[in-house]
Amino acid sequence: MEQAKALNFMDFAASLTDLEGEAKEALASKLHTKQYDKGELILETGTVCNRIYFIDSGLVKTFFYTNTREFIMRFFPEGKMFTVLDSFLTRQPSTYSILTLESTHITYLNHADLEQLCARYHSMETFFRKLLSMAALNMMDRIGNTLEEKAQVAYHRFLKEQGKLLQRISLADLASYLGITQVSLSRIRSL
């Protein structure tokens, strides 16, 4: 169920479901693109997330703040789809923000358009269902890991599973992804 390496939104969709010609055209006609510089906010806390994004190139993080610290839900590099799922589904203001960690080019689809496409084309609903399945699986994994692991184990797991990303994110960001402080991560790395 790992998402295939897709170059763009349409390929990605096709890798999940066979979209018949008509659905495919309808989907393509609803897509938009946008370019962000490094360090730009794609979505800000308190805003409803109206879009589902595909990353053509670049890297983003989804995160939230508490009183004292920042916590990162996930990183998304090129070839992945993402959104702030709770806000996107419930239409409520998001507690998460999205920030680009690199110059990033995205393709997106609006919530209303997706709903309409799902209502009209069974195959689009299948696509969306599989997308949600992947999202749910990823999150389930993350819960299990977060519950189970000491920071040290979590760090090494990250190295193994997403080591490539380490070249592209700061240690501060990795720490807040792991749920620890940057100082604590530095300590772990030195062992």
* Chosen residue from 8, 93, 110, 125 binding a copy of itself by CB under 8 A: 125
Q: Taking CB under 7 A as the rule, does residue 28 contact DNA? A: no
State the DSSP H helix or E strand holding residue 91, giving kind and residue range, or none if neither: none
Cβ pair 135, 85 in contact under 8 A: yes
Q: Footprint of a copy of itself on residues 143-172 (CB under 8 A)? A: 143-144, 146-148
Q: Taking CB under 7 A as the rule, does residue 151 contact DNA? A: yes
Stretch that binds a copy of itself, among 27-35, 43-51, 105-113, 129-137 (CB under 8 A): 129-137
Nearest CA to 6 out of 166, 97, 127 is that of 127
Q: Taking CB under 8 A as the rule, does residue 86 contact a copy of itself? A: yes
* Chosen residue from 47, 57, 152, 162 binding DNA by CB under 7 A: 152
Own/partner contacts of 64-67, CB < 8 Å, gap of 24 or more, are 64/95, 64/96, 64/97
* Chosen residue from 31, 118, 159, 165 binding a copy of itself by CB under 8 A: 118
Tell me the H-state helices in 17-168. Answer: 21-28, 85-90, 111-120, 122-148, 151-162
CB closer to a copy of itself out of 150 and 190:
150
CB closer to a copy of itself out of 133 and 186:
133
Rounded CA-CA distance 24/22 in Å is 5
